Structure 1
């Protein structure tokens, strides 16, 4: 019997055994904490979703906070936002039905953002959900935000002119990956997609044909950002989004500068997460990774209150890590982004060969090739440590540098000839060369075939691609196995092109398990995903887990309140302030 999603008021539903580390910038000492145990809950007490957010110690209002980045943010339109930079920037000017309260010290709580709570599972079957909208939430022009504007925002995400954003909610409402063929936004602007209704200005209702127990998580994505129909400028909304958050866009010179200033109609009493400390946030586009890092390290003028958006480049790692004075101006934390050596199981059909690849891998050598522990941390599981219910295990104990003898034992004298499809850029070739040399010690014969870097991702997702091995990266949209394991390993999703399941594994037994676990509410899913993680690796070995990315950021001496998001692995701005 499935447990209920809701619990008695006055508590929270525990979801997480451990999560990946999150490092907060306190401005004091070394900001490295890669072994922190984290906890997470879904808030059940409406008080948890109320504002104002707790004050950040020492933070004061005023000043301009600058972010340095080489290239523009591709999409500012919330319904089109899906890049990491977009997902970290958008909360400054957009609010969603739910959001994550992340204290930067190891505690995650899913709370209501525009909604009073993270949702009500009306019939306790995950098919009907209702969200009550908070009083006092407003747009930048002062008009109230109601269920109508939130529903319109979701509806416009069906418009194929507005591609780029998440598609979970669209697919779930019409019960089809081809959501655009089931409901046409342009032909139905005065109505809503099937299953989405607004019984009254305070209520948004979802009705699904199948259980969608992860809806409280999915509505924390920008798909649920509200928009009045009369402010919908279509593709031009990318240039000037309409604010529902603490800041609003006041200047946007595409590719050069983006300026956000305070939205006077944002009410902190309605917001459990965000603050409004800086007068302005200014994105400056142009400086490359090294130039941006050098600027914040130099710590002059406006750059004292600046963040270098990208990680510290390898050329500067030794300098930064060796300078005690810079340690208080860095953030170092593993991210939820996993990297695997993907095995094309259509071509490598022998399980023992796939298992031998797992035993042979030299993770330590690979991480040194990538640049060391400030770039990557070893991974032996399908789920990253930042996942709900994560449990550490090693299906194929290989030590730091691989268990060559065990790999040879499994190969039993065979010398499998495998083709490694690798990106043709410098890093892609360097990594492929390291892995080739490593695997050949165990008896494999590896041939590297180059793929144009800008085409590699599309090519390896083709069902009939000609490679046995290739690198794959995945970052979940919320910290649950539901947004990782079924997406990457459900064989029923395999199509001619565009496959997230690029190992092309297809097991009826595992597919049935996906259906079973997805029908559970998140409180029951957590342990089940961890069990299924180990079962997939033990029974199928579709990939060789390699490492999780590590975030290593530098900022100026007056940039305060920064921490690495436990959900997305990039710098969060909800507590950002300029030290006075």
Structure 2
């Protein structure tokens, strides 16, 4: 049985790996990730840590507009459907959760209560029954109070399979089954709550699980626990106009081109331990590619002087930015826990030797160079990124830095597999997929490239019958443990017709699924090495993907915006401390 003390403290104490996932040894003036940042953290045990207001940011002032520029629009604004990095960070503006990570921007993180007074109470000290007391004074954008009932309704609607895209930890834990929709049909029970979820009173939310789930405080930090009044639920249209519980509210949604968030006057900073309300507004602008973003922000003119590139410095401009000392103070560069793979659709590519050949064929050194060098990426050969607790360094298919097409051809035995590679239709993925096509065709494959609209990419690849054999996928753990990587991506019991959080590899191996159960039943302090061993076993026996690289965030912002940092959990631009210099 897992104990709360081991889970909460072990996971957050071992967050220390987040800031050290590169062995780069360059000097301060040379390109490469900032390896001086060492992330560390704890879980808040004192209720005072969860109270507001958040500590003031030195030099911050009120007023102005911060603009976030991104090539593709955000897939979902509906908190129960949010699961992309840009969605997770943007939702902090308008969707509060039960818990959240308070991040100082320098690597120190603390899990605190957000809507809840604390990160939760393990009632019987067995991780099966949890209670959260809701803060007094938390309100929606219209001034109505947020109670346990609205939070429970938000969680209940996450059981609706028409609202796909979001995380499924809490649904599966409450239902005690990956097929959680078979235990609770939200469409037929909109006035009821799923099994195990109750609201004893307006300020108490209670979870009762059949099995221990010591990780609940961490899972509760995802926006799936955002509150919603039932009367505001517009189903799939909720993506267009979410109802705010945070410091900002959506005031204008210009279909895929621009979102405008303005201050929510009913947000009370005294209830919020991590957010601020410095700018008058935030604008998310969609469309410009990374080259355009980078050049606009280098120019530092007009509104771009208080803007930041969410996509990061384009690979073609990395050398220019790194070499310009005048831009150094306007760049952000940190290693992230985000890992990219050439994901193999195991439903369609069923021959293990073909999947192994794909692993031998890839030129990872070329992948990194295509992306812009080690300033922005680091090659990996494991399923878990190096920041993960229990990470094991191995290479199941040693092909050298540039790949081994001859070994791949040997495994193919004269066959010429014809495979379709789907990719997000942005500039970076177009360039990367073209490079991968060249690798694979040198090794005897015939590859057809198919662009997929970036804003629908996640939803489309999560359809079990999708028409692609390969796709460039990514995953960032929701907390730095193998528990939020390997079972989430490779447990076949979670495969659904649509909305599968199986990482889109569609691997389903009963023996492997049993291993997930075995390790998850161990005390968290014992899980780390087991996840490392299982990582290697999965690659050697199943080869469900081709690990490619770990992302290093390298981006640029205007001279008039301050308070930006790279989020320690998701590795993307965080705006909760942002302000415009007056």
Matched, 1:432 2:436: yes
Q: Report the secondary structure of 2:126's partner residue.
A: coil
Provide, for residues 477-502 of structure 1, a one-character-per-residue CA deviation record: whole Å limited to 9, x for no partner: 44332222012223444577876365
Q: Superposed, which structure 2 residues align to 1:299-378 within 5 Å?
A: 299-342=300-343, 358=359, 361-378=362-379
- Deviation of residue 289 (structure 1)? 3.6
- Residue 549 of structure 1 is matched in structure 2 by 551
Matched, 1:559 2:561: yes
Label 1:136 to 1:330 Cα distance change in 2 as closer, same or farther (>3 A): same
Q: Superposed, which structure 2 residues align to 1:84-483 within 5 Å?
A: 84-342=85-343, 358=359, 361-395=362-396, 399-402=400-403, 417-423=416-422, 426-427=430-431, 429-436=433-440, 444-451=443-450, 453=452, 462=464, 471-483=472-484
Q: Report the secondary structure of 1:217's partner residue.
A: helix
Q: Report the secondary structure of 1:92's partner residue.
A: coil
Q: Report the secondary structure of 1:14's partner residue.
A: helix
- Deviation of residue 356 (structure 1)? 7.0
- Residue 485 of structure 1 is matched in structure 2 by 486
- Deviation of residue 155 (structure 1)? 2.0
Label 1:466 to 1:181 Cα distance change in 2 as closer, same or farther (>3 A): closer
- Residue 4 of structure 1 is matched in structure 2 by 3
- Deviation of residue 99 (structure 1)? 1.0
Label 1:304 to 1:157 Cα distance change in 2 as closer, same or farther (>3 A): same
Greater alpha carbon shift after TM alignment, 559-568 vs 172-181: 172-181
- Deviation of residue 459 (structure 1)? 7.0
- Deviation of residue 303 (structure 1)? 1.9
Q: Report the secondary structure of 2:513's partner residue.
A: helix
Give the RMSD, CA atoms, in angstroms. 3.8
Label 1:211 to 1:577 Cα distance change in 2 as closer, same or farther (>3 A): same
| In structure 2, C-alpha distance between the alignment counterparts of 1:281 and 1:299, rounded to whole Å | 18
**Which structure 1 segments of 5+ residues have no match?**
none
Provide, for residues 276-322 of structure 1, a one-character-per-residue CA deviation record: whole Å limited to 9, x for no partner: 22222223345444333322221122221111232223343332222
**Which structure 2 segments of 5+ residues have no match?**
23-27
| In structure 2, C-alpha distance between the alignment counterparts of 1:412 and 1:451, rounded to whole Å | 26
| In structure 2, C-alpha distance between the alignment counterparts of 1:420 and 1:79, rounded to whole Å | 34
CA contact (8 A) 1:211 1:518 kept: no
Q: Report the secondary structure of 2:305's partner residue.
A: helix
Label 1:268 to 1:548 Cα distance change in 2 as closer, same or farther (>3 A): same
- Deviation of residue 395 (structure 1)? 4.7
Label 1:470 to 1:121 Cα distance change in 2 as closer, same or farther (>3 A): same
- Deviation of residue 196 (structure 1)? 0.8
- Deviation of residue 96 (structure 1)? 0.1
| In structure 2, C-alpha distance between the alignment counterparts of 1:498 and 1:142, rounded to whole Å | 34
CA contact (8 A) 1:361 1:435 kept: yes
Given candidates 511, 514, 517, the residue that maps to 1:515 is 517
Provide, for residues 521-569 of structure 1, a one-character-per-residue CA deviation record: whole Å limited to 9, x for no partner: 6555444323432343355444332112332322100111111222222
- Deviation of residue 132 (structure 1)? 1.7
CA contact (8 A) 1:16 1:390 kept: no
| In structure 1, C-alpha distance between the alignment counterparts of 2:254 and 2:447, rounded to whole Å | 43
Aligned length: 566
| In structure 2, C-alpha distance between the alignment counterparts of 1:243 and 1:230, rounded to whole Å | 14
Q: Report the secondary structure of 1:334's partner residue.
A: strand
- Deviation of residue 198 (structure 1)? 0.7
- Deviation of residue 472 (structure 1)? 3.8
Greater alpha carbon shift after TM alignment, 96-105 vs 342-351: 342-351
Provide, for residues 312-350 of structure 1, a one-character-per-residue CA deviation record: whole Å limited to 9, x for no partner: 233433322222211221222333332224467786756
CA contact (8 A) 1:340 1:472 kept: yes
Greater alpha carbon shift after TM alignment, 50-59 vs 422-431: 422-431
Q: Superposed, which structure 2 residues align to 1:67-78 within 5 Å?
A: 67-78=68-79
- Residue 14 of structure 1 is matched in structure 2 by 13
- Deviation of residue 262 (structure 1)? 2.5
| In structure 1, C-alpha distance between the alignment counterparts of 2:8 and 2:432, rounded to whole Å | 52
- Residue 25 of structure 2 is matched in structure 1 by none
Label 1:521 to 1:97 Cα distance change in 2 as closer, same or farther (>3 A): farther
Q: Report the secondary structure of 1:158's partner residue.
A: coil
Label 1:105 to 1:489 Cα distance change in 2 as closer, same or farther (>3 A): same
Label 1:159 to 1:20 Cα distance change in 2 as closer, same or farther (>3 A): same
CA contact (8 A) 1:213 1:521 kept: no
- Deviation of residue 428 (structure 1)? 5.5
Greater alpha carbon shift after TM alignment, 412-421 vs 270-279: 412-421
Q: Report the secondary structure of 1:372's partner residue.
A: coil
Label 1:287 to 1:48 Cα distance change in 2 as closer, same or farther (>3 A): same
| In structure 2, C-alpha distance between the alignment counterparts of 1:530 and 1:334, rounded to whole Å | 21
- Deviation of residue 220 (structure 1)? 1.1
- Deviation of residue 204 (structure 1)? 0.6
Label 1:278 to 1:255 Cα distance change in 2 as closer, same or farther (>3 A): same
Q: Report the secondary structure of 1:110's partner residue.
A: strand
Matched, 1:534 2:517: no
| In structure 2, C-alpha distance between the alignment counterparts of 1:97 and 1:549, rounded to whole Å | 29
Provide, for residues 392-449 of structure 1, a one-character-per-residue CA deviation record: whole Å limited to 9, x for no partner: 44455555345789x59x9699666554432387436522234226xx5xxx533324
CA contact (8 A) 1:63 1:280 kept: yes
Q: Could you tell me the TM-score, scaled by structure 1's length?
A: 0.84
